[in-house]
Amino acid sequence: MTDKKTTQHSLKKDKYVNTRGGNSHFLDIYCCKCNQHLVLYQKDGHGSLLRMYLDRILEPQEFLLLQSKVGSKIEMPNLKCPKCNVLIGTPMLYKAEGRLAFRLVRGSFAKKKSEGVYPPLHQNQSHGKGEGDEDRN
C-alpha cells in the first residue's frame, strides 16, 4: 500500500516515561496463534505487559490514525490478529492518566525485544509447521 522502506523509530520521551522510571524499550508483538506481527510497541518501565496504550503503538500506521480519530474507548475497535482473527485486546481507558489502551488477553500474544525497526527484521521465523505461509510484504 505505502512504501516498503524500513522505519527506524526513536523512543518517545514524555511525562508517561518519567512516571515509569524512564526505562523504555521497543517490543514487537506477535499473535501467539499464527505468529503474525501485530504491532511495534514502546513499553515504558518494568513489569509485565498487561495493556498497550494507544499512544505507544508505533506501527502499523493505522493505529496512529485510530489515535487521532477516537476520543473514547467506545469508538475503539477490539484488537484482533489481522490474519487469524484471534482476539488480542479490548478497549479500555486507563483512568489515572486518561489514556486509551487495549487490555491484553493473556496468552494471546507473544513479545520480542525490538530495535524499533519496522517492519521487523526477523519476521519469518517459522514455529515448526509453516505450511502455506506466504508472506509477501
Q: Which residues contact Zn ion by CB under 5 A?
A: 31, 33-34, 36, 81, 83-84
Of 19, 69, 71, 67, nearest to 44 (Cα)?
19
Query: At its nearest, how many Å lie between Zn ion and the CB of residue 95?
Result: 30
Query: At its nearest, how many Å lie between Zn ion and the CB of residue 23?
Result: 29
Of 19 and 84, nearer to Zn ion (C-beta) is 84
Query: At its nearest, how many Å lie between Zn ion and the CB of residue 39?
Result: 13
Report the alpha-carbon distance of residue 8 to residue 59 in Å, rounded: 11
Q: Which residue has the cell 486518561?
A: 98
Backbone phi, psi, residue 64, to 5°: -70, -40
Distance in angstroms between the alpha carbons of the first and the last residue of the chain: 10
Query: At its nearest, how many Å lie between Zn ion and the CB of residue 29?
Result: 11
Of 9 and 83, nearer to Zn ion (C-beta) is 83
Residue 28: strand, helix, or coil: strand
Of 51, 59, 24, nearest to 109 (Cα)?
51
